[in-house]
A and B are shown apart, each in its own frame.
Chain A
Amino acid sequence: MKTHQFEVIVVGAGGAGLMAGLYASKTAKTAVISKLYPTRSHTGTAQGGIGAALASEEEDHPEWHTFDSVKGSDYLGDQDAIEFMCEEAIPAIYELEHMGLPFDRTPDGKISQRPFGGHTNNITGKPVRRACHAADRTGHMILQTLYQQCIKNNVTFYDEFQVVDLLMVNPQTTGVSGATAGVVAIELASGEMHVFHAKAVIFATGGHGRIWEITSNAYSFTGDGPAITMRRGLPLEDMEFFQFHPTGIYKLGILITEGVRGEGGILINGQGERFMEKYAPTVKDLASRDVISRAIYLEIREGRGVNGQNYVYLDVRPESVNKYAALDGRKNLDGTPFVVTGEQILAKLPDIVDFCRVYLGVDPLTQPMPIQPTAHYAMGGIPTNMYGEAIKDEKNSLVPGLYAAGEVACVSVHGANRLGTNSLVDLVVFGKYAGLRAAEFAKGASYQPLPPDPAEFAHAQFDQFLTSDGTENAFDIAREMKKVMFDDMGIFRSGKGMQNALKKVRELQARFKHVRVADSGKIFNMELINAWELGNLLDLAEVTTVSAIARTESRGGHSREDYPDRDDKKWLKHTMAYLRPNGKIDLKYKPVVITKYEPKVRTY
């Protein structure tokens, strides 16, 4: 077993991890550890845009961005943090541009912006151009640019090292964890365990959308970060809130960006109706994601899917776009009517066109795309304050030396429902602050002692897969988990369905103990790694379900048929879920930070 020592360890090399790594390495001895080669991270798949009130082409203000995000969050977001993020978004975008990020441009050379769901002009209520983009590969350009800057600045990387445990002083002993001492990681190429002794650790491991059957999320989105910290006694915040994106490719779940609707695309049901007019009369197809996903679900349930199937159409054919733009009276900025050609659509959405051609054999310029909602984004995660510092209880006490940023974290700026473009903002803003704070902390702190056998807990978790009786198959367990979570813990939920999901997940957890891996080798033993990742997903599925059952209201991404209304009297609060040493999940709550915006009824 090798031991390394760094002042700051960043776990994860997506947008959040790279930003943290860039900033921490300016003043502290830092290493970034990632299970994937950095450019393989999921940030690279983000398509549509990154939001900031630059007002490149029309009036916009950070206050509007703040209000839209608060409203989008269904008032569960912490307003101080949201305000901070929306203000910081502006310099963050310019910083990315200065790092060379090739944003698309306006005719006069400024960063071009497109409309996106839930982003509005707060006076007229109409969509505003706030999403900065590089075609439909904005995330790819962010990931590449940040990684390139890391190369330029000689940031140290451990690529294809999988972190499997967090080392702390006195974990779990009092139910409340102590200071951070480092992490344990497996080098995939050799199978060796490495200990990284550190003063500060930043988790930036992304989301856990592989819990659900239809998902836009990569194979790597297995929630390693929250599973690790939860097992060390730290809480997870708001896990019941998971976003279903309205437009995934039918059956495959591959994402079709909201940018398609920003460019004028519309949703059409099996009867040829533009049904969003009914559900969101003002912004229609650009309502917030939770609202649209529910609308699609209801259309399908009431028999208005296409050909009675579980999908509707997303239509971006120029003739359809132009027809509905004319009906809406949509105008260009110079007041001329909004009209598009097929070439313009191809230029703005090349990857989307490519996905449809490859995976569906459908050409979106001449045919509508079959879509269904797809599991997409974790609003919940490791609780932090607005500087990326991890929190260990309902009083917001800090865990010395522990940080989290990006999708794995819950600041909370997304509350019960994230607005499109706000995750990429979250990565760069909070990634930066987590990096700065961790480095600052490391300067004033000394290394905590390592436990006598630092890899003990990690070994225990992995050894079970080599010694169990092997009567269960991991793939079957994964398939059953995904199915029940999609059916009963999806867009609409009910007490009965969720109880069923919980029962099933617990049964799968028990069966999981009988999984044995066939591969006994050390080199790239992906079977072993994937088995461990499945354990993470199962544990997070359980926390998600337990948190959801308790919340007897509907808010944002958590929508209950047995409790259809938002209940601010009882539920305007964040869930904090703890895994206790006896295996029980314990729920506590903490208040939402409200500064300027009192909760109101949410209509679009």
Chain B
Amino acid sequence: MQVTIKVFRYNPEKDKKPGYKTYKLDAIETDRVLDLLEKVKGYQDGTLSFRRSCAHGICGSDAMRINGFNRLACKTLVRDTGAKITVEPILGLKVIKDLIVDMEPFFENFRSVMPYFVNDEPEPAQERYQSPAERERFDDTTKCILCACCTTSYPSFWANDKYLGPAAIVTAHRFIFDSRDRAAAERLKILNDVFGIHRCHTIFNCTLACPREIQVTKAIGEVKMALVTGKLD
């Protein structure tokens, strides 16, 4: 089949303002949008720039707005998009070139929630024990690949990139509910203080956007509950 792919283009070295370019190419239903971008780059316009690496939805490089929704280009097939495809950078982060945005504010938020395991008790010679149920408690949020699909689908983030955003809260959740970790209280304090969690209006944008199918809204809800009750169950 023939598909038309309309791509947001902006090269600050040349263009006064951003625009769109449209490319036509042959595709099959099982082609990934990433495959199409690669083909455009290879044969129609080498100057098109975007990030990618794993090509199967695990590394988190290629979050884009595809037909208006935040998606990974490598996990979105022509089967899902149909023959008319529009590809734009994710919103709320500065465009550096074409589909590449400045991820630094996103990672800064990630780093601000103590995104690392804390337990200063003496280390046992072997593993710290954890029951399968305790392990299961935070399983969902360990899947996050920091792609930013959730955070940049979020109106509060577009308005203010200091707003922590769902991804940072998902990361905090992964540690707060880990029975081996000892810094839950500190993390909750951070989440409470800085432009925190209370702005979440549970509109589920973020859950729908997550390519890892993490129950983002649920995780945020659980963190919120822990803040209110001071309990972690």
Q: Binary interface profile of A, 348-363, with partner B (CB < 8 Å = 1, else 0)?
A: 0001001100110100
**Cα–Cα distance between A103 and B135 once the two chains are bound (Å):** 8
* A39-B60, A100-B116 known; A524-B100 Cβ under 8 A: yes
Flag the segment in B44-52, B199-207, B215-223 that touches A.
B44-52
Whether B42 and A110, one on each chain, are in contact in the complex, defined by CB atoms closer than 8 angstroms, is no
* A102-B135, A105-B131 known; A523-B46 Cβ under 8 A: no
* A94-B126, A189-B96 known; A359-B30 Cβ under 8 A: yes
Whether A45 and B129, one on each chain, are in contact in the complex, defined by CB atoms closer than 8 angstroms, is no
* A94-B126, A105-B130 known; A359-B56 Cβ under 8 A: yes
Whether B117 and A99, one on each chain, are in contact in the complex, defined by CB atoms closer than 8 angstroms, is yes
> Which residues of chain B in 59-104 are interfacial with respect to chain A, using CB atoms and an 8 Å cutoff?
59-61, 75, 77, 79, 96-98, 100, 103
Contacts of A108 in B (CB 8 A): 129
* A39-B60, A97-B128, A521-B14 known; A527-B46 Cβ under 8 A: yes
- Determine if A152 is an interface residue (Cβ-Cβ < 8 Å): yes
* A102-B178, A524-B49 known; A45-B115 Cβ under 8 A: no
- Determine if A379 is an interface residue (Cβ-Cβ < 8 Å): no
Q: Binary interface profile of A, 102-124, with partner B (CB < 8 Å = 1, else 0)?
A: 11111111110000000000000
Whether A527 and B55, one on each chain, are in contact in the complex, defined by CB atoms closer than 8 angstroms, is no
Q: Chain B residues in contact with chain A, CB under 8 A?
A: 11-14, 30, 41-43, 45-47, 49-61, 75, 77, 79, 96-98, 100, 103, 107, 111, 115-119, 123, 125-132, 134-135, 138-139, 142-143, 145-146, 175, 178, 180-181, 213
Count contacts between A and B, CB distance < 8 Å.
157
13 contacts between A and B (CB under 8 A): A37-B103, A40-B53, A40-B54, A42-B53, A94-B125, A97-B127, A98-B119, A104-B135, A110-B126, A149-B117, A189-B96, A220-B53, A358-B75
Whether A219 and B52, one on each chain, are in contact in the complex, defined by CB atoms closer than 8 angstroms, is yes
A369 to chain B, nearest CB (A): 14
Whether B96 and A523, one on each chain, are in contact in the complex, defined by CB atoms closer than 8 angstroms, is yes
- Determine if A432 is an interface residue (Cβ-Cβ < 8 Å): no
Q: Binary interface profile of A, 44-87, with partner B (CB < 8 Å = 1, else 0)?
A: 11000000001000000000000000000000000000000000
**Apart from A107-B132, A527-B46: 14 A-B pairs, beta carbons within 8 A:** A42-B53, A100-B116, A100-B180, A102-B178, A103-B127, A105-B132, A135-B139, A140-B58, A149-B117, A189-B96, A220-B53, A475-B42, A519-B47, A521-B97
Contacts of B123 in A (CB 8 A): 98
A220 to chain B, nearest CB (A): 5
**Cα–Cα distance between A169 and B138 once the two chains are bound (Å):** 51
**Cα–Cα distance between A39 and B75 once the two chains are bound (Å):** 18
Looking at chain A's contact residues, the main secondary structure is loop
Whether B135 and A45, one on each chain, are in contact in the complex, defined by CB atoms closer than 8 angstroms, is no
Whether A145 and B145, one on each chain, are in contact in the complex, defined by CB atoms closer than 8 angstroms, is no
- Determine if A141 is an interface residue (Cβ-Cβ < 8 Å): yes
**Cα–Cα distance between A526 and B46 once the two chains are bound (Å):** 9
For chain A, the bracket of interface size reads 35 or more
* A218-B53, A218-B55 known; A521-B11 Cβ under 8 A: yes
**Cα–Cα distance between A148 and B12 once the two chains are bound (Å):** 33
A-B pairs, 8 with minimum CB distance: A100-B117, A475-B42, A109-B129, A148-B116, A518-B46, A152-B116, A519-B47, A527-B46
- Determine if A525 is an interface residue (Cβ-Cβ < 8 Å): yes
Q: Binary interface profile of A, 140-162, with partner B (CB < 8 Å = 1, else 0)?
A: 11001100110110000000000
A240 to chain B, nearest CB (A): 26
Q: Which of B43, B49, B103, B175 has the most CB of A within 10 A?
A: B49
**Cα–Cα distance between A151 and B128 once the two chains are bound (Å):** 22
Contacts of A97 in B (CB 8 A): 127-128
**Cα–Cα distance between A486 and B163 once the two chains are bound (Å):** 49
A580 to chain B, nearest CB (A): 33
